[in-house]
Amino acid sequence: MAQQRKKLFIKTYGCQMNVYDSERMRDVLAPLGYEPSDRPDDADLVILNTCHIREKAAEKVYSELGRLRPHKEAKAGTGDPMTIAVAGCVAQAEGEEIMRRAPVVDLVVGPQTYHKLPELIAQTHRARGERLETEFEPVAKFDALAGDRAVDGYTAFLTVQEGCDKFCTFCVVPYTRGAEWSRPVDQIVAEARMLASKGVREITLLGQNVNAFHGAPPAGHEADGPWGLGRLLRHLSLIGGLDRIRYTTSHPNDMDDELIAAHGDLECLMPYLHLPVQSGSDKILHAMNRKHTFESYVRVIEKVRAARPDIAISGDFIVGFPGETEADFEATLQGVKAINYASAFSFKYSRRPGTPGASMPMQVDEVVASERLARLQAVLEEQQGEFNRSQIGKRLPVLFEKAGRLPGQLHGRSPYLQSVHCEGPSGLIGQIAEVTITDASRNSLTGLLDAKVDAA
């Protein structure tokens, strides 16, 4: 008998790890007849894959649950009820509270238990029984999720490492994702090969601290002990069809020499490094428990630039961490000027319950923090614009990912992760082609396909 088709709507918040996990949830639910849908209102199963990193991110979940309630109520009478599941980091951090605050939720499932979704959903349907599943079992998660993956397009994420042991005093990740854990190399290689065989040209290796990767070595290399990220990249670079590899997010203290050398040696390793520093003040870095100074961060960047001179550096910043004075903030501005970023993300400090930062004295006034954020962003935006403008006149290999917004236009990415728009045939989607950059804005580049330049 053909299996009954059911509609699955997944909304993803937060980091790329969640994007990856959402795809895997889709894969694990497909055999049960769940087909992805882009509308929540008539879905049979709605999953909110949530983020807890800042207060705003967590609150979005409760607003979304409020919007879902009438749809669930409307479906309740039809004999075809809607099941609502909350997954991800809010689920992990506030499982009990979600159940209390939002009775509309049927199921709460933490990031390490997605492989149990089919079973949990069945249970919910049967008895509205076990509703909370947030234990830590990363090994079980990946063992059960391994296997085939539906692929959507020419780029893909691949989680290689999860969790974090660093305990920066502002951050919830060690609590929501648990202790650091790396997947075995063989498992990663099998997944990368499978992606390549389905036409994926670019993979981004993911981890909360991806460069802390230390996975079990592949069969035949047991004597090596755990492999680091540099070694893994070298190994993955041999897979045919994978033209581009990226990785994110890294911690400055885990940029070892082998990884830095890989940036000089591996053509497929894209010249882009996201390396958060958070602050330019050593006093604040110490209070954040970052375990590095600004100077040591600069030294890492210098080494990376020596290995790969054109590398685009990106970063993360937090302003208004407890105790941050005007002088500390000035140090951040000076630091940003010294590094010269190609892109960066900057945030106002958000007090996260349960983290040490939340109970520190000298919390910074909201207005002061907003004003500092605006000043920092002005400098970062200027640098990003400058970096983009520096590409004008250059020829860059662009991986075309999809059609652009305008007819006849394509959208792709430069090696430096910049968005590139140019006119071209749709047959180029999934291909890498040379583009001469003719114009740049803060957020993207435009250019001419080489063939056109030659014809002109």
Sites of contact with ligand SF4 (CB under 6 A): 164, 166-168, 171, 173-174, 208-209, 251
Contact indicator for 171, 287 with CB cutoff of 8 Å: no
Contact indicator for 110, 120 with CB cutoff of 8 Å: no
- Say which entry of ligand F3S, ligand SAH, ligand SF4, none residue 391 contacts (CB below 5 to 8 A, set by partner kind): none
Query: Closest residue to ligand F3S, Cβ-based?
Result: 14
Nearer to ligand SAH, 209 or 388 (CB): 209
The footprint of ligand F3S on residues 13-32 (CB under 6 A) is 14-15, 17-18
Residue 414 within binding range of ligand F3S, rule CB under 6 A: no
Tokens of 407: 């007819």
CB of 54 to ligand SF4, least distance (A): 12
* Surface-to-core class of residue 79, CB atoms within 10 Å of its CB (0-12 exposed, 13-18 middle, 19+ buried): exposed
Residue 350 within binding range of ligand SAH, rule CB under 6 A: yes
CA distance 288 to 308: 30
CA distance 95 to 131: 10
- Say which entry of ligand SAH, ligand F3S, ligand SF4, none residue 167 contacts (CB below 5 to 8 A, set by partner kind): ligand SF4
DSSP secondary structure string for all residues of 71-109: HHHHHHTTT-PPEEEEEHHHHHHHHHHHHHH-TT--EEE
- Is 111 strand, coil or helix? coil
Over the window 298 to 327, marking each residue x when it contacts ligand SAH by CB under 6 A and - when it does not, the resulting string is: ------------------x-x---------
- Alpha carbon distances (Å) from 7 to 30, 74, 82, 167: 10, 16, 10, 39
CB of 253 to ligand SF4, least distance (A): 9
Tokens of 346: 């900057």
Looking at residue 260, its amino acid is I
Residue closest to 433 by CA, chosen among 224, 250, 201, 260:
201
The answer, yes or no, to whether the previous bond of 249 is cis (omega within 30 of 0) is yes
CB of 14 to ligand F3S, least distance (A): 3
CA distance 306 to 224: 28
Residues 6+ away with beta carbon under 8 Å from 371:
none
Residue with the two structure tokens 């996975």: 215
Residue 341 within binding range of ligand SAH, rule CB under 6 A: no
- Say which entry of ligand F3S, ligand SAH, ligand SF4, none residue 349 contacts (CB below 5 to 8 A, set by partner kind): ligand SAH
CB of 212 to ligand SF4, least distance (A): 9
Residue 349 within binding range of ligand SAH, rule CB under 6 A: yes
Residue 176 within binding range of ligand F3S, rule CB under 6 A: yes
Nearer to ligand SAH, 256 or 439 (CB): 256
Residue 13 within binding range of ligand SAH, rule CB under 6 A: no
Nearer to ligand F3S, 82 or 168 (CB): 168
Nearer to ligand SAH, 350 or 383 (CB): 350
Q: Where are the alpha helices (DSSP H) in 345-447?
A: 366-389
The one segment of 171-179, 193-201, 307-315, 384-392 that binds ligand F3S by CB under 6 A = 171-179
The footprint of ligand SAH on residues 163-192 (CB under 6 A) is 170-171, 173
The one segment of 34-42, 46-54, 310-318, 382-390 that binds ligand F3S by CB under 6 A = 46-54
Dihedral sign for Cα 283, 284, 285, 288, please: positive
Extended strands (E) in 60-131: 83-87, 107-109
- Say which entry of ligand SAH, ligand SF4, ligand F3S, none residue 413 contacts (CB below 5 to 8 A, set by partner kind): none
Phi, psi of 245 (to 5 degrees): -130, 135
CA distance 171 to 58: 13
Q: Pick from 45, 53, 158, 277: which binds ligand F3S (CB under 6 A)?
A: 53
Tokens of 77: 């009478």
List contacts with ligand F3S (CB under 6 A): 14-15, 17-18, 51-53, 88-89, 172-173, 176-177, 208
List contacts with ligand SAH (CB under 6 A): 53-54, 170-171, 173, 208-209, 249, 251, 276, 278, 316, 318, 347, 349-350, 352
